[in-house]
Structures are given as structure tokens and as C-alpha cells.
A and B are shown apart, each in its own frame.
Chain A
Amino acid sequence: MSFGLLFPAFLAALAALAVPIWLHLRHSDKDKPFRFPSLMFLEKLPIRTASRRRLVDIPLLLLRLAALTLLVLAFGRPYYSRDVEAAMAHRPRAIVVLLDRSGSMGHTDVWAAAQDSARAKLAGIQQTDRVALVLFDEEAEIAQSFTSDLGLVRAAIAAAKPGDRGTRYAAALRAARQLLSAAPDATHEVYVVTDVQRSGVSGLAGLDLPTGMTIAAVPVSPKRRANSAIAAVDVRRIAGQRVTVAVQARVVTRELPGTRRVRATLALNGRPSGSRDVTLPASGDFTIAFDAVPLPSGRVSGTISLEKDALAFDDVFRFTLPDEDELRVLLVVPDDASGDETVYFERALAIGKAPTVRIERRRPGTLDARSLRDAALVVYWDARPTGAAVETWVRGGGGLVVAAGSRMAARPAVSPLVPATITGMTDRLSDRGGTFGEFSREHPLFTPFRDANSSLGLARFLRYPRLEPGAGADVIARFDDGQPAVVERREGAGRIVMIGAPLHAGAGDLPLQPTYLPLLRRLVLHTSGHESAPLWRLTGESWNPQAIAREPVVSTPSGEIVRPLADSAGTAVALKEAGVYSLYDGRVTGDPAAIVAVNPPPGESDLTPVDPRELLLGVRLSDQAVDADHARAAPRELEGNQGLWRAVLAIVVLVLLVETLLATRGWRGIAGHTTVAPSERSAP
């Protein structure tokens, strides 16, 4: 057992011990003189003054010094701690084994060793000890809660299998913390059996672990870290008589002993669609380009596979093909508009890819349901949108852009498809043109300009219409004079955006600015509702299918049917498995409304281990550090061990009581009581 002080700085107060010593040395000099009837006899005696300088009343002095010393010790907050052997001897152990089952643990050299290491931690466990097993990857699962039956734990270890997900140590440690909170009176020990990947550290920073928890990493890294993995896929549609797709895969190799000859296979909707024999470099990136293959009909998912190596989970990569690769935009242009007026607009939109934009010019009043059927967006160029077919189409989910100009200002009229009325034209020739003022940075239309908002202000507008937003319309951008520049309104399932900033070069220089292309592209993509879906997602992400299906039903790669519940943040499906998720609307029949390919995070393929101590650098631990060699007391016991100051204070009170009794009784009290009576007390 060892003792210590929480606040040893208080020991400096021991210098105050000099005070009672000094007082005892010159005690009499400071006292009130003792009046004696006559010094007639005392004056005849030889008096040695030196003898008065010695310490007087040693027992009383010792008592006072002891009281002062104990008082200082009490303020220093003494504590005691039992040593390791004593702690281990008196307290049962609560052991949590965290077994990593992420994709990287599926390495042929690792998993068996990991199971053996986990079993090894069960050795030496006594009957009073309890063990729990937690399997973790990106999430933690309590495979066996605390038990003294080691057979159950061994069975759970044997039943565990590595998956194809990433690693997150934070989830595992939180689970351990939750388990250990139910065993406050035991010594807490946590063993993390893992291949110690750096990618798993994410989320550990700021994690609070209770004091007294002992954490030890049990590294089981493979001896051979050679690995090749498919990191990304690129899919490109090739238009022709028959639409084909060209697929490329990017393969990353690490620490291969040499080049590796391997066959890569492409499959679309489960059918082999091509293969390539390639020679991978020992270390680095390599791109495999497959021959273009005809695009199957319907929703298309694909896989690219490499011949398996020691780590198999990353030798297969899943992806999906986007539904369509082209947006059809109908540009309604007034008859009196020249071709030069829209040339910047048309050419700017024609530049973009994935998706490409195909523009079809139309005259006002010529749009009907048939022409609108495959259209992604209708743009009215300084013309008022009219017609029931357009209105119906917009309410059904279509996108409408109204580029307001002088023609609309000259013939003001009411239209339900215009979110703002035009009250005239603003002429900014006198002050060299107006600019964009404030705009909604969070709006998807201005996403490219969030970090470069000054670039929007470069464009100058000489004349523009004065917009007055109608009911339900939001102003998402204004000119520098405060007038609305862009107004948006939802119309049924569709969206209408009215833009007052001139999109042609006749009334401003916006088409000549670098911001023109991204602004127009975002205008088309946002208004048309086209969101570029990723070719694949990663495990651990979530997917919001609500925009696609009203009653989403999701079929997971393992065949499980999930009906995601909507909450305040929307409807989200946790992508826990690698594979292809299929989304249906209402019932799981027919073609899915959407599919999502999910792959393990690429960092899981990096088998380079890190120092186990580095893993927990960001974890907030007290002085009960990460060290398996030191058993620490539980918080309750620690608090109890620090309660010595109360006992010390009680002893101080006792000592002071004894001191008071000693100082006022017996011969010590005579001098105090032997006083010269005041003259008034002499009266009878």
C-alpha cells in the first residue's frame, strides 16, 4: 500500500511549524506579566536569563506541532492506493474482449490468429472474474455479455467470422464502456484483438473513457501485407446505334513481392461481360479498361473481380450505372429573338458531361404533353410560360426556368407559372452596371460559389427587370441594389426558377464571366431535379431513398427487406453490408426503382499497422493510462481512498482538544488563574 498527496504543494505550509516553536521560545516575553505581591525574595536570588531561551513545555509544543502538521496534511488531500498484487488479489476482474471482424481481418494469416489471441485472454481467469465478447467492425455487437462461463465465450469466438466492412475502434470502446459500467466493483480490463489499422482510428478523438479502465491492444497483423484491391470504377456511356458502356477499374497494389499476373472480370447484372488479363505492378495504381459492352435494359449493376489473393474482400468491386446520361432541355425562344441572343446559353450547356445536355429550341405555345414527356427542363427565354400542358407537366415534377427580360417587362401579364411579377426595367448604365449582391450560400444553385462568392460579383448587368416575388416564392439572390435577381417557387412536385439577371451578352457580361458555365449547369441540374447519383457508396454511409419512392422498401444484399422509417432528418437506410441494395416503392415486385452498390471503405485494404499506443492518443483518459501492466482501482474505490483528509481533520480536532485540556489544567493553568484581583473586586 502506498500513500500520496493530491495537492503536495500544500506541504509548503509546513513552514508554519516555525511559528509555535518561536512562540514557545519567547512565550513568557509575550505574556502578560504576572503581578506578584513583592519581589523582595526573588531579587535576592540569582536568575539566569539564558535558561529562559530554551524550548518550554515540550509536550505541549509537540502537540501543537502535530496538530499543525496534520492540518497541512489534511489540506494536501492524502490518499492511499493498494499495489497491483493487493488490488488483483482483492477485486474480481471484468474483462471485455473486443474482436475485430472487419474486412481486413479476413486475411488468411490473420483471422485464426485473432481467434487464438482472443482465447488466450481467457487463460488465467478465476471463478470470480467475468468475461464479455464484443465483435466490431464499423459497429459493435455484444456477442456475449458478462459471464463466468468461459465455454460460452469460446463458442462465441468460434462462431465469429470476418465481414467486409471497415473498422471503427470508437464503436468498440463505447460498447466496452457500456458493458463495464455494469461492473463498477471490478477491475476493468479491455483487450482489443485487431490488426491495428490506421483507418479505424477515426472517431476516437474526444472519446471519454472512465478512469480505471485498462486497455491493451493485441495486435494480429499479417506477416505478409501484400495486397491488391480495386479502389474505383469509371463507367462511360457510348452513344451509337446501340448504347454501349465502357468500364474502367483502378487497382491499387501494396507491397507485392513482384508484378502479379491476374485476370479481371466484368459482370453486368450478374452476367459476365468481359475479362482482361493484366500484370499488376508490385506497388502503385493500375487501370484496367474493359471493352465496351452493350448496355442492358433497366437498372444495371455491375461487379469487377480480380483473382483472389490473401485478402479477398477487396478483390470484388460493385457499381451501378446511372439511369440516363442525357438531359433534354426545351428552350422556348420568342419569335423576335435572334439566334445570337441564346448562343452563349446553348453553347455553355452543351459543354457539360455526365449528364450531357441536349437542347431543343421551341416556339412559344408549341409545347404539348407529348413534347414534354421526356423533357428534363423547359427554359422560357424572355417569354411567359403558358399552356395547361406545361402547367400539368411542372406540377408532375418537371422543371421550369423563366429567363426574364425586356420583352416580358413590356407585356406584363399574369401567369400561374411565373413566381414573380415584373414591374419594369432597371437601367444601371449610369453606374456602370449592377452586380449580384447577397445570395443564399446554402442553395444548391450556388453550391460552386460557396467558397468563391466574390467570383459571382464580377458580372455586371446594365439592364434587368424589376421582379416582385409572388406568394410562395423565395428570393435566393439579389442584385446589389436589393432587387430580386433569382426567385424560386415549388409548384406541385416540380420547381420553377425565375432569373432576372440577363443570361445573354446584350444587357450584361455574365456570359463572358467564368461563373457562367457552373451557374447555368447548376441551374439546369437543380431545376430539373437531376441529382447525379454516385456509382457506388461505402459501407457505413446512409442512403435517403425518399426522393425516389414514396413508400420505400429496401432489399439488402443479404436478402433482408427493410422498410426505413422517416424521422426529422428524412428517411435513411444504413448501408451496413457490401453488395447491391434495391429500392422498391410500396412492394418488392418488378424492377426496382433504384439500386445502390456498396463497397467496403478503401482504407480497409491498407494492411500497414500502426503503433497500438498511437491508436488511443486522442482518447481522454485520466492518469489511469493505457497500460495492461497496471491494475487500477475503480472510481468508487479511488474516491474512498482519498477520504483520508476527513480522518486527519478529526485527529486534528482531537489533538487540539487534548492540547486545550493540557494547557488549562494542572500546573499549566496556575499561572493563568493566578491573577491580581482588580481593586474594584476588593470591595466586600
Chain B
Amino acid sequence: MTSTAPVNFLDPAVLGRIGDLALLARTVVEGFMHGLHRSPRKGFSTDFAQHRQYQPGDDLRFIDWKAFARTDKFYLKEYEADTNSAVVFALDASGSMDFKTGPVTKFDYGRFLIACLAWLSQHQGDRVGLMTFTDGIAEVIPPSSRHLQLMLHTLGRARATGVGQLDSSLKSIAHLTPRAGIIVLVTDCYEDPNVIGQAVDVFRARKHDVILFHLIDPAERELPGRAASTFEDAESGVRIPLRPEDLRTKYRTLMETHRRTLAERMTAAGADYVDVDTSRPLDHALYTYLDLRLARGRVR
């Protein structure tokens, strides 16, 4: 099926009404990705590339029984085909993600985004996995070509709550992903950019490709309200009485500085940084993702 996803289905407000993440992801992705790219990695294809020693978890169907007869060892045939890279999606599930001024929260937007990217990756031949984190790892689904449905189910059950610790969480993710792959981070990045950068450096040292999706609600850019109000931190519960109109300019400056610093730090670390406005359609994030991967020559 090569139909193009209707634009309406890319609107966060429309996506928010779709209860089934699988349906959502398929609807969005099928219009995008069919035949767009091929993996540079070796995979299962009709063009033979080499033999590889069997490892637990490999499909028994690809064991070369002839080689076994000759050597009494299990070998798998590898073919020159679309790769099966491991793509691990890491979703920030801290309380700060449960915020919205538009139709969907940042957390929902992140779930939609991951579902679509996972669907896209699965159909590209990648193995997909999921990790959710707050102040540590909450859910872990190892990358596998058969874990898409489990992953979507886990995403559906996930809730954004609790205090987030991005630094420690990223370190835990790095610890759980020893093999090189693609790490897709989806978070609101309320952490010092250098701390985030150091964590990404760890990923990069392990040959991971890192893509950071920075989800920002429009209110987070603007600091809404004019009358005197009391602001409460969604995670810590700390309250600050203030008049937003008096602080808006300085807040915008701080926010923009934070975003720019983060982008620079990610570039320095060799990671991709995507600034995502949760009020904008989802295809913007998808296009950005694909552009970045094309630019890095990972698609041939």
C-alpha cells in the first residue's frame, strides 16, 4: 500500500483522538517511508554477503545447514540487503512532560513520534526497542524485529509522572545499550546542556548514532499570563509567586539560550538535535528526522 497519509492525520489534535498507536503509526508512516531509503548495514537478503557464527536469539531459519554438516558448527548466512540496525527509543516520562497548552501534552506528542518512527524503522528492517525513564529507567524493551507491537503496547500504558533526572537516566541507557545502534532521545531537556552533552558523548563513544528530539510546548517559549500568578513546578511542587509579564523577556532569553546551547553541544558531540514544537504537525518532526539521516549518508 503506497497511499499518502492525509495531512489531517499529522495534526497533533487529530492524532490525539486516535487511541490505537499501531494504527496511528501505520497511518502516518505508510505515506512517508515506503522505498525512501535502504540500510547500509548487512541484513537478510537474496544477495549473499558472508557467514556469521550463530548467536542466541538468531532466527534458526537462516542457519546454513550445509556449513553445519561440514564444520559441525552453526553458521548463519548474511546477505547484502537492508540492514537490521537496532534503534532504541528513549522517552522522557517525567512529570514535566505532562503539560500542554495545545491539544496534546508533550508526553503524548513524544509517544506519537516514537510510534511513527518505530513503525518506520520496523518497515525499514531495523530492530526497534524502547526505554522510558524518569529519574532512572522505568521500562525496557530490547531492540528486536518482533518487538514493535510490544513496544507500542508499552507506550500506550506509559504515564508521565515523577521527578526526572536526565543525567542519570541517560547514563543508564548507555549502560543498557552496549552494541552500536541508533539512540533516539525524546525529552524536554530540562537539564544543563553540558550535562546532556556529556551523556551523549558516552553514546557516541560507543558508536551510537544519537538523535535528540527536544519537545517544547508553545507556553514554554512564551511564559503565559499577565496577572500575578503562582507558578508551581510540575515535578518538584516548588511554587514561585510572580508576575509573568514582568519576567517574560528575560525568560524568553534564557529559554532561547538554553535551546541554542543545547543544539551547539549536540553538534559538537556529533549528535542530531531536533527542536520540536508540540503545536506543529507531526510530519515536521519526521521530515527532519529523515533529512538528518540522509545528510549523514546512512541511507543509500
Contact = CB atoms under 8 A, between A and B. Distances in A.
Contact of B107 (A29, A48, A682): A682
A524 to B, nearest CB: 104
Interface string B218-258: 01100111111111111110111111001100110011001
A526 B106 CA distance: 116
A31 B235 CA distance: 20
A38 B190 contact: yes
A27 interface: yes
Contacts of B101: 670, 673-674
A35 B232 contact: yes
Contacts of A43: 238, 240
A39 B236 CA distance: 9
A29 B111 contact: no
Nearest to A56: B227
B246 to A, nearest CB: 6
A29 B240 contact: no
Q: How large is the interface on A (under 10, 10 to 19, 20 to 34, 35 or more residues)?
A: 35 or more
Contact of A34 (B98, B105, B108, B232): B232
Interface in B35-77: none
A49 to B, nearest CB: 6
B64 to A, nearest CB: 43
Q: How large is the interface on B (under 10, 10 to 19, 20 to 34, 35 or more residues)?
A: 35 or more
Given A37-B97, A671-B225, A42 B231 contact: yes
A52 B230 CA distance: 10
Given A47-B242, A684-B111, A37 B228 contact: no
A667 B229 CA distance: 13
B156 interface: yes
Contact of B229 (A34, A57, A684): A34
Contacts of A3: none
Given A38-B233, A57-B227, A684-B18, A674 B240 contact: no
Nearest to A666: B226
A681 B17 CA distance: 11
B19 interface: yes
A45 B248 CA distance: 10
B251 A45 contact: yes
Nearest to A57: B227
A668 B258 CA distance: 28
Contacts of A29: 230, 241
B79 interface: no
B239 A677 contact: no
B96 interface: yes
A328 to B, nearest CB: 113
Contacts of B238: 39, 43
B188 interface: yes
Contacts of B156: 683-684
A297 interface: no
B99 A52 contact: no
Nearest to A671: B225
Contacts of A28: 227-230, 241
Contact of A37 (B19, B190, B247): B190
Interface in B107-133: 107-108, 111-112
A52 B243 CA distance: 7
A31 B229 contact: yes
A57 B19 CA distance: 42
A41 B258 contact: yes
Interface in B248-282: 250-251, 254-255, 258
B21 interface: yes
A38 B240 contact: no
Contacts of A681: 105
A37 B217 contact: yes
Interface in A654-669: 667-668
B105 to A, nearest CB: 5
A45 B243 contact: no
Nearest to A681: B105
A43 B233 CA distance: 10
A52 B190 contact: no
B159 A41 contact: no
A668 B245 CA distance: 12
A33 B18 contact: no
Contact of A52 (B239, B241, B255): B241
B110 to A, nearest CB: 11
B228 A27 contact: yes
B198 interface: no
A671 B219 CA distance: 10
A48 B247 CA distance: 10
B108 to A, nearest CB: 6
B259 to A, nearest CB: 11
A22 interface: no
B105 A677 contact: yes
Given A28-B230, A56-B227, A682 B242 contact: no
A684 B21 contact: yes
Contact of B241 (A37, A49, A667, A670): A49
A550 interface: no
B151 interface: no
A40 B98 contact: no
B103 to A, nearest CB: 10
A57 B160 CA distance: 35
Interface of B: 16, 18-21, 24, 95-101, 105-108, 111-112, 156, 159-161, 188, 190, 217, 219-220, 223-236, 238-243, 246-247, 250-251, 254-255, 258
Given A34-B230, A39-B240, A41-B255, 8 more contacts: A28-B227, A28-B229, A39-B238, A42-B242, A43-B240, A48-B246, A676-B234, A677-B100
Interface of A: 27-29, 31, 33-45, 47-49, 51-52, 56-57, 667-668, 670-671, 673-674, 676-677, 679, 681-684
15 contacts: A35-B231, A35-B232, A35-B233, A36-B232, A37-B97, A37-B190, A38-B233, A40-B190, A43-B240, A44-B254, A52-B242, A57-B226, A667-B226, A668-B226, A682-B107
Which 6 A-B pairs rank lowest in CB-CB distance, beginning with the nearest? A28-B228, A37-B96, A33-B232, A52-B228, A38-B190, A671-B225
